[in-house]
Chain A
Amino acid sequence: MYAKVVLVKDTDLKREDRTREFYTRLLDCLRETNLHSQIQVVRVADIGIYDRGLVIKILPDKVTYANVQDTDIKRIVEALSEEKVVEELVFKPKAKQYRLVLRNCGKIDPENIDEYISNGGYLSLKKAVTELGQQKLIDEIKASGIRGRGGAGYPTWMKWNFAREVASDQKFVICNADEGDPGAYMDRSVLEGDPHSVIEGLAIAAFATGASKGYFYVRAEYPLAVERIEKAISQAYDYGLLGKDILGSSFSLDIEIRLGAGAFVCGEETALISSIEGKRGTPHPRPPYPSVKGLWGKPTVINNVETLANIPVIVSRGGKWFAQIGTQTSKGTKVFAVTGKVKNSGLVEIAMGASLRDIVIDICGGTLSGKPIKAVQTGGPSGGVIPERLLDTPVDYENLQKLGSIMGSGGMIVIDDEDCMVDIPKFYLGFCVEESCGKCAPCRIGGFQMLNYLKKISEGKGKPEDLGQLRRIAQAMQKASLCGLGQTASNPVLSTLKYFEEEYNEHILNKRCPAGKCSSLVTYSIISEKCKRCGLCFNNCPVKAISGDKEQGYSIAQDKCVKCGQCFEVCKFKAIDKK
């Protein structure tokens, strides 16, 4: 048996991977000092640190060295034999992940309530019901400063307090699990990995407000999440953690699942309520807010999955403890689903106030291709893009809004120079136009018109005055739309116009798409000097737009070309020109 383990990984992106070489050197050095029977050296696939040269981690000591040079190996081995640490090589990561919301994800069996309970589960519900009572509970949530994680960032305690203060024979709590932003799946992961934490959060919310009935509103596209919540609810009933007289108190709560049919707008709370009532999922003007007059006209608290998963932590560790994490205005952590052109796509939970650079470079390892990042998109179809030069901005509700984006539910899409800044807003706007419920004119007509302008620009038919027109419609939509969908649908367009207007102008004035994404503006041609006449492009063209033979060479007939890019992809000699 080995007393220690040394993990090695070369994280330098610019050179060929030298992990194996270092591994052998380190082993040799250990053999010379006769330590090789006590220390195992292991090559790892990923050490969680990127672009810091050779990284070594020693377990169980938890010492990490970065930028280790060949000449350092000897002193590291010496330090190992003497149980010392080489201080000047120690690496302290700037960005560290937290595990509050994801505390049990990947740790416990989500289908086993006993595992949840043995990790402290339902103790917060017990504390709320048997010790705190409604007032103290709401005070704790107020002290924590937690704000809604669904995107808008409304203080959670205020929602609860409004609902509590209204006298009513029946009140409701709803968990909003209608996660619909493209690329966002934090809520799905929490529901699949730790469903009891959300049920506990919902039960605590019900106790705080005096609700006796709760709903999970989940998208039908999340079958595994639905299955696991169903199981979890029935287990909680078996243990008397739901149902009548919970934990011997007078507090009773029934929870049911309602499946959403996949309409994006149903994530908006008033539309969600309509949907549960069995009506068409269209939003309603607020006020009255659901906390006062919600489901079937009764006071209703609607909280997002991630907000609810935070609640048991706040109750068990105290609001004050929670409020230490984060920034002045945004407390706690936020889970982001990082996707797009990023090396390590997945979930990242960081304290509010960490910078975008911490998230996408230090934790997620930058882009997959190694190319520089052009921008990061946050907030899904209601958000905007943040250019590379502003990546040091600390992430919180206010800062992202100032930059023309929003926190949103936590989708984060990394964009590199192969992505076109006209194409991206076109995609998001297209999404909102499709998902618009059509009830109010600004959203229904405004979105459609804006999309037409974007299509025109991406086809090279745009005019300089179109940009002003886009801005004008965007402002009208923001001001006059009924619900959040229409009010924010123009954000992707406005933010790309703000930071990447020159790219719009390239499309309009020079009829060129710098990223090579807008197919109407791209032409492929064969560079005859580079062409080796292998015929690969000829064989791969799906529309037979390439003619010629191995003797005479090949050429592309522009009138037949559908600009699929196949020839460009298959050419081994870079002889296809893409302009």
Chain B
Amino acid sequence: MGKLTPADLDNMNKNSSGNAKDWIKVGMSSCGIAAGADEVFNFFVEEVSKRNLQIEIKRCGCAGMCYAEPLVEVSVEGLPSVTYGAVTKEVATKILEKHVISKMLVNDYIFDIDLDSQG
């Protein structure tokens, strides 16, 4: 895309809403990567293509809960979006099999910190 005009910016902002596709976000800042987020990210990408799942794997920064890295947020239609902490390959497998495929939240790994912005 070339140089934007003010109207382009408004359009790009408006057109983004209503994007309800399923996704998994992996926190990939220094703290996440140090805790092994790279490996988890690659694992998700491989497994999703192997199992032919319709879910997008995305990267994001650190949400602030550095003690629980690697953090993985999962949003699947019909379930509240939740964040799993201290995710390993084993936990990632559970997330795919239970959360993404069977549509049930996984026990024992959710870090539910309310970080909604206010105002």
Contacts and interface: CB of A to CB of B under 8 A. Distances in A.
Residue of B68, B86, B111, B114 with highest tally of chain A CB at under 10 A? B114
B37 to A, nearest CB: 12
A97 interface: yes
Interface in A93-150: 93, 96-100, 102-111, 114, 117-120, 122-123, 126, 130
Given A59-B80, A240-B2, A106 B60 contact: yes
Q: Is the interface of B mostly helix, strand, loop or mixed?
A: loop
Contacts of A414: none
Contacts, number: 167
A48 B112 contact: yes
A102 B9 CA distance: 22
Nearest to A130: B6
Interface in B1-53: 1-6, 9-10, 12-13, 15-16, 25, 27, 29-31, 33
A117 B9 CA distance: 7
Interface stretch (A39-47, A169-177, A426-434, A516-524): A39-47
A345 to B, nearest CB: 5
A345 B34 CA distance: 15
B29 A224 contact: yes
Contacts of B60: 105-110, 193
A40 B107 CA distance: 10
Contacts of B10: 123, 126
Given A7-B112, A118-B13, A106 B71 contact: yes
A464 interface: no
A541 B55 CA distance: 54
A560 to B, nearest CB: 38
B61 A99 contact: no
Interface string B76-92: 00111000011000000
Interface string A232-264: 000000111100000110000000000000000
Interface stretch (A346-354, A438-446, A531-539): A346-354
A81 B3 CA distance: 56
B6 A126 contact: yes
Residue of B6, B64, B67, B73 with highest tally of chain A CB at under 10 A? B64
A321 interface: yes
B4 to A, nearest CB: 5
B13 A105 contact: no
Interface residues of A, number: 67
A188 interface: yes
A431 B13 CA distance: 46
A5 B12 CA distance: 34
Contacts of A189: 29, 31, 61-62, 64
A106 B118 contact: no
A344 interface: yes
Residue of A45, A47, A118 with highest tally of chain B CB at under 10 A? A45
B78 A247 contact: no
Given A117-B12, A118-B12, A122-B9, A346 B64 contact: yes
Nearest to A348: B64
Interface string A309-328: 00000000100010011000
Interface string A332-363: 00000000000111111100000000000000
Range, interface on chain B: 35 or more
B101 interface: no
Contacts of A120: 13
Given A103-B117, A240-B2, A240-B3, A44 B112 contact: yes
A43 B112 contact: no
A48 B64 contact: no
A460 to B, nearest CB: 37
A197 to B, nearest CB: 11
B16 to A, nearest CB: 3
Contacts of A344: 65, 67-68
Residue of A23, A97, A222 with highest tally of chain B CB at under 10 A? A97
B3 A347 contact: no
Contacts of A347: 62, 64, 66
B3 A239 contact: yes
Contact of A48 (B4, B113, B118): B113
Interface string A11-22: 000000000000
Contacts of A346: 31, 64-68
Contact of B4 (A59, A193, A241): A241
A192 interface: yes
B102 to A, nearest CB: 10
B66 A46 contact: no
A224 B59 CA distance: 14
Given A106-B64, A120-B13, A238-B1, A57 B112 contact: yes
A194 interface: yes
Contacts of B27: 106
A192 B69 CA distance: 15
A60 interface: yes
Nearest to A106: B63
Nearest to A337: B66
A396 to B, nearest CB: 18
A98 B118 contact: yes
A194 B64 CA distance: 13
18 contacts: A2-B104, A44-B109, A44-B112, A45-B110, A93-B114, A96-B118, A103-B117, A105-B62, A106-B64, A109-B58, A118-B12, A185-B30, A193-B29, A239-B3, A247-B6, A247-B9, A325-B119, A346-B65
Given A40-B105, A107-B25, A325-B119, 11 more contacts: A23-B107, A45-B68, A97-B113, A97-B114, A102-B63, A110-B59, A117-B9, A189-B64, A194-B61, A224-B30, A346-B66
Ranked nearest first, the 10 interchain pairs of A and B with the lowest CB-CB distance are A193-B61, A106-B63, A240-B3, A118-B16, A99-B117, A347-B64, A346-B66, A48-B113, A44-B110, A192-B29
